[in-house]
Structure 1
């Protein structure tokens, strides 16, 4: 069993390798298909948990604060993410509204909450209850979290809207921008290393 823990399998071509300790900035690649096998984890478990807590706080701010304020002829109108979702629903774009809510709220929130759950126990070197299921869920949820795409689309929309309105960025858009940075930093870490730094929880 101990020998098996020192092996790493490429998830793309099933090639098996002996694990080696990586130095800062190093990445292990599969020699067969070129896929990334493992990255050096430059932030410890405590640091990752702190990032997740910060991300959750910023996530709440991003969802309750106005994204932008549009001004025209002395009139001003602002909206939050959920205000935009409700407006799309009322305008008959129910499918777009549901997809927006899923990819910008429910999936990102699920990803953050699952990470917070497993990291809370990992700080003590333990595996959280339902650890295997949580790790599987992270793999399935991650591709559907599209906050980065939302930020790019919002920036394009703000630039175009500026032609017709006075556009004032709200706290929500700044929070989403900061959240994008936090998620990018956290995504640079391979969650699979949690299998190595944790052990089965004691009953």
Structure 2
């Protein structure tokens, strides 16, 4: 059975410049000589790191959404706010679009992003050709640009500054979990070697992956 030769070229995703794929090892970054955009960001054990960070992100999503971000006490009245309850409060205040943005970009998008990253990393780590890997990789690339947890955190900090003179404000466990989740999100994006992921997905999808098992059946 004939197999396809590995592609030794790479195209810039910004200016479409076609280049010969460089030989890289360790922590190295390759930039396009024409437009300066990043082509390859190589990290050792990128698949395993991405899997660990995705699992950590999924774990942190629970306390970040279940526990209160802030606790307010005004004239003896105590109130706690989570990310979900703050979105519902905005909906009740006739701000459905803002409420929807919080639900999407602070809860749904980060959760989907970590689920896709865990799915991809686990499949590549186990060398399993699970369904929908190319589609999951494309979706992960686009969702990475729409996770806006840091914007929500900044809005919380602005609210604290404005409310501190009118009420007693106490940070909750959800706020610390949200800060840790933002750090994990940034690390998962920076440590993921997309070029390596795409090449391993192509390897799993190529007929060459089936060659050993087919040869074993002929023996």
* TM-score, normalized by the shorter chain, greater than 0.5: yes
The corresponding residue for 2:62 is: 60
2:40–2:194 Cα contact (<8 Å) kept: no
The corresponding residue for 2:194 is: 191
Which shifted more, 131-140 or 39-48? 39-48
Q: Note closer, same or farther for the CA distance 1:96–1:26 as it changes in structure 2 (3 Å cut).
A: same
Q: What secondary structure sits across from 2:103 in the alignment?
A: helix
* Cα drift, residue 143 of structure 1: 1.7
* Cα drift, residue 24 of structure 1: 4.2
Please list the CA deviations of residues 44-64 of structure 1 after superposition, one character each: whole Å capped at 9, or x if unmatched: 312221111010010111011
1:22–1:39 Cα contact (<8 Å) kept: no
Which shifted more, 74-83 or 19-28? 19-28
Please list the CA deviations of residues 35-93 of structure 1 after superposition, one character each: whole Å capped at 9, or x if unmatched: 11011214431222111101001011101110100122333211111111111111111
* Cα drift, residue 102 of structure 1: 0.8
Give the superposed CA RMSD: 1.9
Q: What secondary structure sits across from 1:32 in the alignment?
A: coil
* Rounded Cα–Cα distance in structure 1 between residues aligned with 2:200 and 2:162: 48
- After superposition, residues 1-203 of structure 1 pair within 5 angstroms as 1-4=4-7, 6-188=8-190, 189-198=192-201, 199-200=203-204
* Count of residues in correspondence between the two structures: 202
Which shifted more, 17-26 or 129-138? 17-26
Rg larger for: 2
* Cα drift, residue 28 of structure 1: 0.7
Please list the CA deviations of residues 2-53 of structure 1 after superposition, one character each: whole Å capped at 9, or x if unmatched: 341x322100111122222334443111011111101121443122211110
